[in-house]
Amino acid sequence: MKIFKFGGASVKDAEGVRNVLKVLEANGNSNKVIVISAMGKITNALELVLKQYLETGKYQESLQPVKEYHYKVLDDLFGPGKATTLAKINGYFRELENFLQHNRSQQYDFVYDQVVIYGELISTTIVSDYLSSREIKNDWLDARNCIRTDDTYRDAQVQWDETQFQIRKNVKPENLTITQGFIGADSNNFSTTLGREGSDYSAGIFAYCLSADSVTIWKDVQGVLNADPRFFDNPSLLEQISYEEAIELAFYGASVIHPKTLQPLQKKEIPLYVRSFINPEKAGTTVRKGQQISPKVPCFIVKKDQVLISLSSLDFSFILEKNISHIFNLLHHHQVKVDLIQNSAISFSVCVDNKFNNLEKLIQELKATYRVTYNTGVSLYTIRHFDEAAIKELEKDKKVLLKQITRETVQLVAIP
């Protein structure tokens, strides 16, 4: 049993869906679970639907491009033979509109999860039907019937015992199964999501629960690179890395592998391969137990649109353990993710990700106890396995607000 995961970029259009077939033809199409994300930028488009709905009570204008996007893919893939799949897709859109028409919840995270899951449901239906049309027999599986979570909407925590039971019950190991990444369901059968880019994590969950031989993540890059080519020139391919190194890179923000993906794989020593769907014949990157990073070069990571918060006591007293405990309780309460901390005798600084848009509420509560200054729109740069040349290159033309160096890692909070 092998797990393949295809992200949104790999199934963004009809050609991408056809390429899934080519990959399966080259690697075999039995004894596999295929985990698929929403097509292209559809999750972003559904977020716009949600934004319009919450701000105006309307959604049709922003939903129409989502429909047309998928209709075009259907036309390109199936032509006149699209009727069956079109009926399924329109059924999903009716479900979504019915929810929006009757929803009474004001809880953003809950409503978010009930809306964005349709991207994955639609993409997997299209892929499954296309494979069937090419005589590739497969089982379409609703991941919400398998991945059971708590009700922490937008960042749901997996209930492992129930999830393992349901996956083993619903997946036939000898078959080809098509299912969704990113989504699950809570004990009340409301849809949940595992966090943005959580499809990798879904692949890891299925692999762990099925004791899979391997997981392969098919990307639009050649493997795990030492830097994001969108922000850094001439990145190098990391041919092999350990679970520990991959977890470190993911924790610091490397976007190729979701941070939670490696944990279930490491427990059962399931190897992970990151390969290019553009050049599927190439080996890409191997992640497994104990192997050294190769080649050992500095690895550059950037997280943009961060917030640097600096605190000091109102009476210039020391920032002690009880203060730090209080600060972290507030950060946890407001779901503000911490990426870097630094403290001195009378000050405490923290670089955070405001992904749930609770910064204003957090700042107001902090001001009741501390003197607060903060910078929004900063970038957090990380270099693993740094050298002096790498640091100098990174600092060039930037205003550095905070710098922290440990044995293997240097981090900078800077204004570009």
Domain finish residue from 220, 239, 256: 220
283 located within any domain: no
> Token pair 């349709």 is at which residue?
118
Instruction: Report the CATH number that the domain containing residue 350 is assigned in CATH.
Output: 3.30.2130.10
Residues 14 and 120 occupy one common structural domain: yes
| DSSP per-residue codes, 296-335 | ---EEEEEEEEEEEEEEETT-----HHHHHHHHHHHHHTT
Instruction: Report the CATH number that the domain containing residue 211 is assigned in CATH.
Output: 3.40.1160.10
Q: What gap in Å lies between CA 344 and CA 330, rounded to an integer? A: 20
Q: Is 142 exposed, middle or buried (0-12, 13-18, 19+ CB in 10 A)?
A: middle
| Cβ contact 200:8 at 8 Å | no
231 located within any domain: no
Q: Would you say residue 123 has pLDDT above 80?
A: yes
Residues 213 and 312 occupy one common structural domain: no
**What pLDDT score does 257 carry?**
81
Under the banding of pLDDT at 50, 70 and 90, the label for residue 205 is: very high
125 in helix, strand or coil? helix
Please give the residue range of the domain that contains residue 88: 2-220
**What pLDDT score does 341 carry?**
96
Residues 21 and 155 occupy one common structural domain: yes
For the four alpha carbons of 223, 226, 228 and 229, in that order, the dihedral sign comes to: negative
For the four alpha carbons of 185, 190, 196 and 199, in that order, the dihedral sign comes to: positive
17 located within any domain: yes
Number of domains into which the chain is organized:
2
Residues 166 and 30 occupy one common structural domain: yes
Q: What is the mean pLDDT of the chain?
A: 94
Per cent of the chain over pLDDT 90 is: 86
Q: What gap in Å lies between CA 70 and CA 42, rounded to an integer? A: 9
Residue 322 CB partners (closer than 8 Å, separation 6+): none
Per DSSP, 363 falls in state H
**What pLDDT score does 220 carry?**
84
160 located within any domain: yes
| Cβ contact 120:180 at 8 Å | yes
Which span out of 163-172, 293-302, 341-350 was modeled with the highest average pLDDT?
Answer: 163-172
What tens digit of pLDDT does each residue of 175-198 get?
A: 999 999 999 999 999 999 998 778
Q: What gap in Å lies between CA 147 and CA 133, rounded to an integer? A: 28
Pair of tokens at residue 203: 């692949």
- CA nearest to 145, candidates 99, 189, 211, 202: 189
Domain finish residue from 181, 200, 220: 220
What tens digit of pLDDT does each residue of 219-263 get?
A: 888 899 999 888 898 899 999 999 999 988 888 887 778 778 999
Under the banding of pLDDT at 50, 70 and 90, the label for residue 356 is: confident
248 located within any domain: no
| Cβ contact 246:257 at 8 Å | yes
Residues 215 and 319 occupy one common structural domain: no
Q: What gap in Å lies between CA 184 and CA 145, rounded to an integer? A: 7
Residues 200 and 321 occupy one common structural domain: no
270 located within any domain: no
pTM: 0.85
325 located within any domain: yes
Strands of 214-219's sheet, edge to edge? 139-141, 176-180, 32-36, 2-6, 214-219, 272-276, 285-288, 240-242
What tens digit of pLDDT does each residue of 283-338 get?
A: 999 999 988 899 999 999 999 999 999 999 998 899 999 999 999 999 999 999 99
What tens digit of pLDDT does each residue of 109-119 get?
A: 999 999 999 99
First to last CA, the chain: 46
Residues 168 and 303 occupy one common structural domain: no
